[in-house]
Amino acid sequence: DVKVTQSSRYLVKRTGEKVFLECVQDMDHENMFWYRQDPGLGLRLIYFSYDVKMKEKGDIPEGYSVSREKKERFSLILESASTNQTSMYLCASTEERTSTDTQYFGPGTRLTVL
Amino acid sequence: TQLLEQSPQFLSIQEGENLTVYCNSSSVFSSLQWYRQEPGEGPVLLVTVVTGGEVKKLKRLTFQFGDARKDSSLHITAAQPGDTGLYLCAGGGGTASKLTFGTGTRLQVTL
């Protein structure tokens, strides 16, 4: 069964802290994505990756960076957390590099920045 | 930037009622997906449509892609409490596998 896991369901951090959000998929998918979800705004793409050590900016990359050292793991990094980064963060993966392929999502990490 | 607006934003109905959710854009998409997200979980794919005018049915759910591929609708017949969740449309067609998600419709079905 397809599975995408995220390191934490809930996280509380202070302004200025460095925050790491981890995502692991067990499907040998090449494509991985990080989104943030806010009420009334749907899901917005932060970064995505088509291969190990490869990354591309999404629609809202400012204040974030990513790391993909292994195929199954895609990390989202907040270099210096700010209160406007309080949100739900969702990781997803796909097998094919097409927009018709299924995106498999993790359960999300709800991050609160105080 | 492509935008997908969904309406209504919230919908609270009783079991057995019918409803329609709309997903609209000024941009053309090559494909359109619908996802449902339940509390505490990530979105799960319901359907993918790729042809203008295409209609797909999934039990009591009917999905339609607009002729011009700028809009889509989701119709639920005889809603049940298990249909409760956040419904998200997502358009594709730009960078391969990159999706533009809609603003979401939160549906609550009560007994």
d(C-alpha A15, C-alpha A1), whole Å: 38
Token code pair at residue B53 = 């005018």
Task: Per-residue pLDDT tens, chain A, 114 aa: give them.
Answer: 769 999 999 999 999 999 999 999 999 999 999 999 999 899 999 999 999 989 999 999 999 999 999 999 999 999 999 999 999 999 999 988 888 889 999 999 999 999
How far away is chain B from the Cα of A101, in angstroms, using its nearest Cα? 7
CB B92 to CB A35 under 8 A?
Answer: no
CB A90 to CB B43 under 8 A?
Answer: yes
Contact list in B for residue A99 (CB cut-off 8 A) is 30-31, 91-94, 96-99
C-alpha dihedral (A28, A33, A37, A43), degrees to nearest 10: -110
Confidence of residue B1 (pLDDT cuts 50, 70, 90): low
Residues of chain A whose C-beta is under 8 A from some C-beta in B? Answer: 4, 9, 31, 35, 39-45, 48, 50, 56, 58-59, 90, 92, 94, 96-108
b/e burial code for range A62-92 (CB count within 10 A of at least 16 → b) = eebebbbeeebebbbebeebeeebbbbbbbb
Q: pLDDT tens digits, residue range B39-95?
A: 989 999 999 999 999 999 999 999 999 999 999 999 999 999 999 999 999 999 866
